[in-house]
Amino acid sequence: MDKQQTNQTPVIAFTDSTASNTKPNTANSHMQHLPTTGMGRAKDLLPYLPFSKTTLFEWSKDGRFPAPVKLSPTMTAWNYADVHAWLNSHTSTTGEV
């Protein structure tokens, strides 16, 4: 009976403690908003855009997305107000991107 009992006992005891000791990940949550003023780099914008980094740079280059500003030879940033204007003009109800 003891042998049968040990086969039924899990090796790792599973407990449901996730709800009490973890914080929700708000990195991609709608709780955080894209700032309305200032400038942001690609990594700051991408969580709010429906496309990849490659598309961001290609569309910025050909005019389908607001043009960035070169802050230095290796640093590019976008004006948050321009990005908001683009997002508002390309809502999901328009059907175009």
Residue ranges of domains in the chain: 35-97
pLDDT tens-digit readout, 11-56: 655 555 555 554 544 444 444 788 999 999 999 999 999 999 999 9
Q: Do residues 28 and 49 touch, judged by C-beta distance below 8 A?
A: no
Element of type H or E holding 40: strand 39-40
Summary mean pLDDT of the chain = 78
